[in-house]
Amino acid sequence: MIETMIPDVGDVARWIDEARHLDRRAVLDLLALPRAALFAAADSLRRARMGDDVFLRGIVEFSNICTNDCLYCGIRRSAEPTRRYRMELDEILDVAGRMARWQQKTIVLQSGELASAAEDRRIGEIVRRIKETTDLAVTLSAGNRPRSVYAQWRDCGMDRYLLRFETSDPKLFRYLHPDCTLEERLRCLHDLRSLGVQVGSGFMIGVPGETLGILADNILLCRDLDLDMIGIGPFISHPGTPLASQANAYAEDTAMYFVAMAVLRLVNPDSHIPATTAFDAILPHEGRDLCLQRGANVFMPNNTPGRYRRDYQLYPNKPCVDEDGLQCSQCVAARIWALGRMIGDGPGHSHKTHDL
């Protein structure tokens, strides 16, 4: 019976062993489970493996300059945002210096992809100065790079790297990303793992052309990559991109976004899973709360200075663009406490061990 696949939190060890061996058919069965039971199971497993603490990882979108032309992205090379920008080092350090007061122990430095020797050195210097002046863990998210560049950033103090694969289907990936292949993206993830940094990845839910089989494969690829953090969020069409008129594959059943979240937790019991901002774009003021009740254990407040926020909209209707970092942190804390959860203390490092 499919129902026997719902893990009993009293027998977590058995479920974790079973999750390691689930195949595509089994994941498709999980995706079809009664939703209330599925959500409850994911929440129970999250509590058993990750606890009730919610770790805060503050995002700083330090540049919207990008040389790639991904079909769905609002800062793609061919897009026309109000302006292109690059935050200066002192601006970034100012934000980083305030984050501890906001109970945030990780800074997530996110940008468009601009692969150049000068930019690689600049990013390394940003990481080095943050590590010298704060106690923050540093996560970078700046796209594909050679292994040597990742090693350079690690040596500057980078703790983690986030690089989403977006879809596990090679043809769909190449259609969405004309400047890259899935093989190249996976090579980057394996390079990062070999360097001993914590690795994050993930995917969009419901990109045009996605099937339930591809969704199942996405979830399994996260497991097979043994990721420390997995970020997922619904595809939202941006009006300034070639996919402007394309609906999400699950537009008629938006609960599937949370089904994906819950099954992701069941198949990846020990990974940090954030409640990503895109869920609030779909369901304002409650999307991320629902994620935290359906498998997620990380919240990522936006610390980007207000004057830049409207120019870093990967998708439309992005929430919090009119707030500053303090307002955003206060709102996040209130949401977490309202759920009966607490803000996690410390950097929230992965507790996984990996064979390198």
| Predicted TM-score (pTM) of this structure | 0.95
Residue pair 107/139 in contact by the 8 Å Cβ criterion: yes
93 pLDDT more than 90? yes
What is the model's pLDDT at position 127? 98
Are 301 and 58 within 8 A, CB to CB? yes
Q: What is the pLDDT, as a whole number, of residue 5?
A: 62
Q: What is the pLDDT of residue 4?
A: 47
What DSSP string describes 281-299?
Answer: HHSTTTHHHHHHTTT--EE
Report how far residue 204's alpha carbon sits from residue 215's, in angstroms, rounded to the nearest whole number: 9
How buried is 98 (Cβ within 10 angstroms: 0-12 exposed, 13-18 middle, 19+ buried)? middle
What is the reported pLDDT for 123? 98
Q: What is the pLDDT of residue 2?
A: 44
pLDDT per residue over 44-88, tens digit each?
999 999 999 999 999 999 999 999 999 999 999 998 766 999 999
Mean pLDDT of the chain: 94
Whether the predicted pLDDT of 175 surpasses 80: yes
The total number of residues written for the chain in this structure: 356
Residue 9: pLDDT band (50, 70, 90) is low
For the chain, the domains span 15-343
- DSSP-derived 3-state class of residue 351: coil
DSSP 225-277: TT-SEEEEEE----TTSTTTTPPPTTTT-TTHHHHHHHHHHHH-TTSB-EE-T
C-alpha distances in Å from residue 336, one per residue of 50, 269, 296, 299 = 15, 21, 12, 9
Give the mean pLDDT of 176-185: 98
What percentage of the chain carries pLDDT values higher than 90? Answer: 85
CATH class of 15-343: alpha beta
Token code pair at residue 248: 């999400």
> What tens digit of pLDDT does each residue of 17-29 get?
999 999 999 999 9
Does residue 313 or residue 8 have the better pLDDT? 313
Residues 6+ apart with CB under 8 A from 218: 165, 167, 168, 203
pLDDT, tens digit (0-9, with 9 covering 90-100), for 150-163: 999 999 999 999 99
Residues 312-332 pLDDT 10s: 999 988 888 777 778 888 899
Which band of pLDDT confidence, cut at 50, 70 and 90, is reported for residue 256?
A: very high
- pLDDT tens for residues 208-217? 999 999 999 9
